[in-house]
Chain A
Amino acid sequence: MPDSGAGRLVLLILAAVFAFLYVPIAVLVGLSFNASGLPTAWTGFSTRWYAALLQNGEILGAARNTLIVAAASTAIATLLGTALAVGVELRRRRSRGIEALIFAPMIIPDIVLAIALLSFFSLLRIPMGLHTIVMAHVVFNLAFVCAVVRARLKSFDWSIVEASSDLGASLVTTWVRVVLPVIAPAIVAGALLAFTLSVDEFIIAFFTAGAGRASITLPMQVYAMIRFGVTPEINALATLVMGASLVALALAQRLNRRTLGA
């Protein structure tokens, strides 16, 4: 931008956009540390709402459920998604049907998958609970793991697999010592992404959790709390959840850089 008028306009746009993106979050985080817990007045820095959170059995139970669902669905999705990625890349011909099937979970609206699974489970009279949330989360998680691992395999030179077996390595040895080390960072990055998606996922979990409090996840708990309005505890909980996502993102970013740089 040569003239300063346009340059100033650019800075103005940037300031407005970043204010729009960050003010709501900053207010939320700030309020979570306000002793009074109210937006009306700042009465001093305090972590009492975080302490209150740790005493709240409902929230801790929901957090536990979320971790169980995320861990189980990530484990299954990583296994299935990695195998799928290798399988697809190993094939000599591309199949449009398979590509569409793998792509579908990423674009299908979550409300549609949610009602589809709810109808499916209830018509088959499968009792719903944490296990059905896990089954549902694996559907989209495996697609994301597959996408991440495939991106890594795109640059993989399959001739080294042939070289390995020509040199007398067994199939298992070849996979464990040649292929796996190459795709390992992508598998971890995919698993991390899957874990984050599962922890944050609300609608599908909401529909496939079944009745009762036993299988409430953290987003479901947050949703229930939000519907009753603004409380200092939600501010604190929201800040913690955002902090956790940030850490997960930073980890994935590091791994990804190493993957691409390797």
Chain B
Amino acid sequence: MRDRGSAFLMAPALAWLAGLMVVPCALVLALAFFRRGLYGGIDWTFTLENLALVFDPLYGGILLNSARIAGLVALIAAVAGYAAAFAIVSRPRHWQPVLLFLAVLPFWSNYLIRTYAWIVLLNREGLIVQAARWLGRDGALPQMLYTEGAVIAGLVYAYLPFVILACYAPLSRLPRDLAEASRDLGGSGFTTFRRITLPLTLPGLAVGAVFVFVLSVGNFVTPALLGGGQFQMVGTLVYAQFLTAGDWPFGAALAMVLMAVMMLLLVAQTWVAERGTGGRRDA
């Protein structure tokens, strides 16, 4: 009786997810194995060419470059986010929720608008150029917008709150007497941090860094807006295959590889986290 009612209640939503998520995703997976048609359509003959093309030097290079940029973004966001979370935890208890809320607040505003804010800052008449002029620096500054640096800055900006949130939870739960004990036993501040605080809060940091990497590597909006017309990452490449180049099977193959990389990372992160809590503690 209870299970029949349950099935009845779940059916519409599950049907929606099956019809508009599972089937379309399976379709895209399948598309990767067919030939591109002459006029942008699909020629239903089986091929592995699309997957091979993903790893060809040109496109493989873009894939590697996306991974490198996402790696840099994850690293910068991890260091800055951890430092910020550490600083928040060091403040008096009653201040912490307010600071945390303020750190996460920008996360709730529109992604496009947060990216646009960087165009306002970095463009040739933007605030940074104005500030440099005001400080008496004459002559042209190097181009800032439409560079790889702008893309990295934009991605770090977009996802930093995420790392702060992921690091705050384990840091705030860390018993204070652990650090005190370490200091009493003669450990310096740095030793305490390296041997006690960091190992115990590493899983939270790893969650944050992996998510930042995953969100950055397939990102489309930030490279498209801050990287300029020629700048390519996997996300912009997938976009181009579907909306301008008309090579859907290749776009599908790219998306498939992207998904595989993300899945692998998320699984690896879960595995590490489970090992970290259940496994050895001698680090």
A112 touches B112 (CB 8 A): no
Q: How far is the CA of A123 from the CA of B242 in the complex (A)?
A: 13
Task: Report A-chain residues with C-beta under 8 Å of the C-beta of B157.
Answer: 20-21, 24
Instruction: Say if the beta carbon of B151 comes within 8 Å of chain A.
Output: no
Return the CB mask of B2-27 against A: 1 if under 8 Å, else 0: 11011111101110111011111101
List the A side residues contacting B255 at CB < 8 Å. 111-112, 115
Would B238 and A138 count as touching, CB distance under 8 A? no
Q: Which residue of A lies closest to B109 (CB)?
A: A242
Q: Does chain B have a CB within 8 A of A13?
A: yes
The smallest C-beta distance from B268 to any residue of chain A, in angstroms, reads: 15
Chain B residues with CB under 8 A of A98: 10, 14
CB pair B16–A227 under 8 Å, yes or no, is no
Q: Is the CB of A27 within 8 A of B9?
A: no
Min CB gap A7→B, angstroms: 8
Q: Is residue B170 within 8 Å, beta carbon to beta carbon, of the partner chain?
A: no
The yes or no answer to B87 lying at the interface (CB within 8 A) is yes
Contacts A98-B14, A101-B22, A139-B20; A25 near B106 (Cβ below 8 A): yes
Partner of A13, one of B25, B87, B108: B87
- A105 to B109 alpha-carbon distance, docked (Å): 21
Which of B86, B87, B130 has the most chain A CB atoms closer than 10 A to its own CB?
B87
* A209-260, CB < 8 A from B: 219, 222-223, 226-227, 229-230, 234-235, 238, 241-242, 245-246, 249
Chain B residues with CB below 8 A from A230, complex form: 119-120, 123, 125-126
Q: By the criterion CB–CB under 8 Å, are A245 and B5 in contact?
A: no
B115: chain A residues within 8 A (beta carbon):
226
A221 CA / B117 CA spacing, docked (Å) = 16
Is the Cβ of A83 less than 8 Å from the Cβ of B83?
no
CA distance A17 to B90 in the complex (A): 15
Contact A24 B13 (CB under 8 A): no
Q: Nearest residue in A to B164 (C-beta to C-beta)?
A: A17
> Which listed segment binds A: B195-203, B258-266, B273-281?
B258-266
A14–B160 CB distance below 8 A: no
- B33: CB under 8 A from chain A? no
Residue of B nearest to A7 (CB): B90
Interface presence of B59 (CB below 8 A): no
Identify which of residues 57-106 in chain A touch chain B, using a CB-to-CB cut-off of 8 Å: 80-81, 83-84, 86-88, 90-92, 98, 101-102, 104-105
Give the number of residues in A that approach B within 8 Å (Cβ atoms).
76
Residue of B nearest to A86 (CB): B9
Q: Report if A17-B84 is in contact (Cβ < 8 Å); known contacts: A115-B242, A123-B27.
A: yes
State whether the Cβ of A33 lies closer than 8 Å to any Cβ in chain B: no
Q: Which residues of B contact A (CB under 8 A)?
A: 2-3, 5-10, 12-14, 16-18, 20-25, 27-28, 31, 42, 80, 83-84, 86-88, 90-91, 99, 102-103, 105-106, 108-121, 123, 125-127, 130, 157, 160-161, 164, 189, 214, 218, 220-221, 225, 235, 238-239, 242-243, 248, 251-252, 255, 258-259, 262, 266
Contact residues of A with B, CB < 8 Å? Answer: 1, 6-7, 10-11, 13-14, 17-18, 20-25, 27-28, 31, 38-40, 80-81, 83-84, 86-88, 90-92, 98, 101-102, 104-105, 107-109, 111-113, 115-120, 123, 135-136, 138-139, 142-143, 146, 196, 200, 202-203, 207, 219, 222-223, 226-227, 229-230, 234-235, 238, 241-242, 245-246, 249
Closest 9 CB pairs of A and B: A87-B9, A87-B10, A24-B117, A84-B13, A120-B24, A116-B24, A80-B13, A90-B6, A13-B87
Can you sample 25 A-B contacts with CB below 8 Å? A14-B87, A18-B103, A20-B80, A24-B117, A27-B117, A84-B10, A87-B13, A88-B6, A90-B6, A92-B3, A101-B17, A102-B17, A104-B21, A108-B21, A112-B28, A116-B28, A120-B24, A142-B13, A142-B16, A142-B17, A203-B220, A230-B119, A241-B109, A241-B113, A242-B110
